[in-house]
Structure 1
Amino acid sequence: MNARVRRIITTRRGGASSGKYDSFNLGEHVGDEPAAVRANRRRLAEKLGLDEGDFVWMDQVHGTRVVRVKSAPGGAIPGTDAVVTDQPNLALSVLTADCVPVLAADETAGVIGAAHAGRKGSSDGIVPALIAAMESLGAQPERITVLLGPAASGDFYELPEQMVADTESVLPGSRSTTTGGTPSVDLRKGLTRQLASLGVTDVDTDPRCTIADPELYSYRREGTTGRLASVIVRQG
């Protein structure tokens, strides 16, 4: 089986939200008007040529729970930070505003996965859990391709030195330094190294930094703000 896989990442432009959520906020949990979020999700589905019911959303909690989905559940999956499937036409979706969206696929096996990898989830092992769940469906690490989407970069993701050291100890390669010379973390660099240790070497990184790029939502920069969506779908 060689499947066509699409990976899509939204920006904050082109939607119905206003104020601090201007304008293409896709998160239901951030205080935006529910009608605006519904309109934005409907617009996203239309742009991708999908039905709203094809999307799989998660109630993300910075944990390591991975759920296999065989059909869209009709609501956010509770307490989950990664989903995998071997079914076509399911749009696995990750919401972020600084954390790393991880979109993975083994096109030969027809298996895709998506994970929300913040500092805590990355440190606790959400990405190895994602890869293991994909392998349980027949994926092979050497065939898996991964896109790490826009996220807080080491140039701007400043943290206390002890927190940086703690993260580096469990996610080697993540230690960084901001443009101002202070300790920071670059999760995408750490995750790329971790994926390589798992046998996944075909990894692309979207270079955009959510903190630095005004076209993207950033909790660090703005506090109250919307959420981007990173979506992966295998078309049958």
Structure 2
Amino acid sequence: MSRKPQPSEQDAQSLQGEAWDRERTLLDSSPLSTLDEQGRPIPVTIPIALAPGIKVVYTTRLGGVSSGDYAQLNLGGKGGDDPQAVAANRQALGRQLDRPIVLVDQVHSARVWDADQGQPQGRCEADAQVTTRRDLALGIFAADCLPVLLADPRTGVMGVAHCGRRGLVAGVIPATVKAMTDRGADPSRIVATLGPRICADCYQVGSDLAHDFEKRFPGASGPCRFGGIAIDIAAAAIMELKAAGVTHIVDSAPRVGAATSYLRQDPDLEELCSQDSEGPSLSKRLEELRRPLCTLENPLWYSHRRASLASKTGEGRMLALILADD
């Protein structure tokens, strides 16, 4: 076994000097631009490897051109934002992903769109999509509801489901898994992950609604941090996945937590938190953050519930996407 020669004292001092020069260069470097060379927005997203050759991507509030209550990267077209801003944000995301994004008109149903046909022509009411195509990204809007993303890495079949309370009760997850198996997926091979959503401590509902949800999904209700009763849509989704034969579930929380920590001093996020009237400063919010995937707690995400608590008139929408990792 050979041994690497030890540097002399002079060499060591030289190496230390080079290291300091590199560190000083980093410290003196300008902040990363939020615009590309053409002045177009650069979306801030969180990619997560779901399975070999397949990834999911969560958009954040950062890196777009929307303003006011919708700042910055609003991707939803229903909330009252400037349509040109939404279009610019979607185009920027499409450039970043380097493929078309397929979207549907979500209505809290169990309907599944066959995205092998590409983008629907005209209005398409559905709350899930499946595809075998590697040249598309399937997207689901969310701002408290739960996106569930699924893939069979052997066959390449991918799916995504919008799982709000009503969609879960309607059976959107088993409908999505069935649509995937109809295209060659095997539930025992499907890998799933649960995206950003309002957590079990924050999703406050009335007692009658909680009772009905608990009856449908035993154990998926409990005390709310604000008082009263809350429901756990993530727990309900896991029940549905397991009932459909999907047991391999990847936890998105570690990667999202790391990304949140990385952005804890981001000036754009700090500015958003100082202007959105949805809570205290960024540092205070992150100090109190317990669940990085909770849309109400984490200021990285849009949250309809958080906006309502702040008496805002509008709120943006994020996208959770699944696509081939080519």
Q: TM-score with structure 2 length normalisation?
A: 0.68
Shift of 1:3: 6.0
Alpha carbons 1:102, 1:117 under 8 Å: kept: yes
Asked if structure 2 preserves the Cα contact closer than 8 Å seen for 1:64 and 1:126, the reply is: yes
Between structures 1 and 2, the one with greater helix share: 2
Larger Rg: 2
State the identity %: 38
Query: With CA pairs under 8 Å and 6+ residues apart, which has the higher RCO, 1 or 2?
Result: 1
Deviation for aligned residue 1:177 = 2.0
Aligned partner of 2:159 in structure 1 is: 113
Residue of structure 2 in register with 1:62 after alignment = 108
- Does structure 1 residue 218 correspond to structure 2 residue 297? no
Q: CA deviation at 1:76?
A: 6.5
**Map of 1:230 onto structure 2:** 320
Partner residue in 2 for 1:162: 208
1:38 to 79, 82, 87: 87
Superposed displacement of residue 11, structure 1 = 0.7
Q: Does 1:25 align with 2:85?
A: no
Distance 2:225 2:80 in 1: 32
For residue 151 of structure 2, give the secondary structure of its aligned residue in structure 1: strand
Measure how far apart 1:150 and its partner are: 0.5
Stretches of structure 2 lacking an aligned partner (at least 5 in a row): 1-50, 254-292, 309-313
Check if 1:129 corresponds to 2:175.
yes
Written as runs of structure 1 = structure 2, the 5 A alignment for 1:175-194 is 175-194=221-240
Residue 109 of structure 2 aligns with an amino acid whose one-letter code is: G
| Greater share of strand | 1
Pair 1:93 & 2:122 matched: no
Residue aligning to 1:209: 294
Q: Which deviates the most, 201-210 or 26-35?
A: 201-210
Offset, 1:75? 5.5
Structure 1 residue 124 displacement after superposition: 1.2
Change (3 A) 1:35 1:226: same
Q: Which amino acid aligns with 1:8?
A: V
Give the drift of 1:43: 1.3
Could you tell me how far 1:6 is from its partner in structure 2?
1.5
AA aligned opposite 1:130 = T
Aligned residue number for residue 78 of structure 1 = 124
In structure 2, what is the equivalent of residue 199 of structure 1?
245
Q: What is the total number of aligned residue pairs between the two structures?
A: 232
Of the structure 1 ranges 153-162 and 75-84, higher mean CA displacement relative to structure 2 is found in 75-84
Cα distance in 2 for partners of 1:59, 1:140 equals 28
1:180–1:193 distance in 2 versus 1, CA, 3 Å = same
1:27 Cα deviation from its structure 2 partner? 0.6
Tell me the alpha carbon deviations over residues 81-135 of structure 1, each in whole angstroms, 9 at most, x when there is no partner: 0010111111000001000011100010110001111000011110010011101
In the TM superposition, residue 71 of structure 1 has moved relative to its aligned partner by 3.8
- Cα pair distance change 1:206/1:162, threshold 3 Å: farther
RMSD, aligned α-carbons: 1.7
Residues 148 and 77 of structure 1, relative CA distance in 2, 3 Å threshold: farther
The answer to whether the 8 Å contact 1:3/1:110 transfers is no
Q: Is the 8 A contact 1:188 1:205 kept in 2?
A: no
1:176-202 CA distance string (max 9 Å, x none) = 322245210110011112211221111
Q: Flag the 1:36–1:217 CA change in 2: closer, same or farther, 3 A.
A: same
Q: Which runs of 5+ in 1 are unaligned?
A: none
Distance 1:70 1:138, change over 3 A: same
Q: Partners of 1:205 and 1:184 in 2: how far apart?
A: 22
What is the CA–CA distance in structure 1 between the aligned matches of 2:121 and 2:143, rounded to whole Å?
A: 21
Structure 1 SS opposite 2:200: coil
Tell me, in whole angstroms, the C-alpha distance in 2 between the residues paired with 1:91 and 1:13: 20
The separation in 1 between residues aligned to 2:148 and 2:132, in whole angstroms, is 17
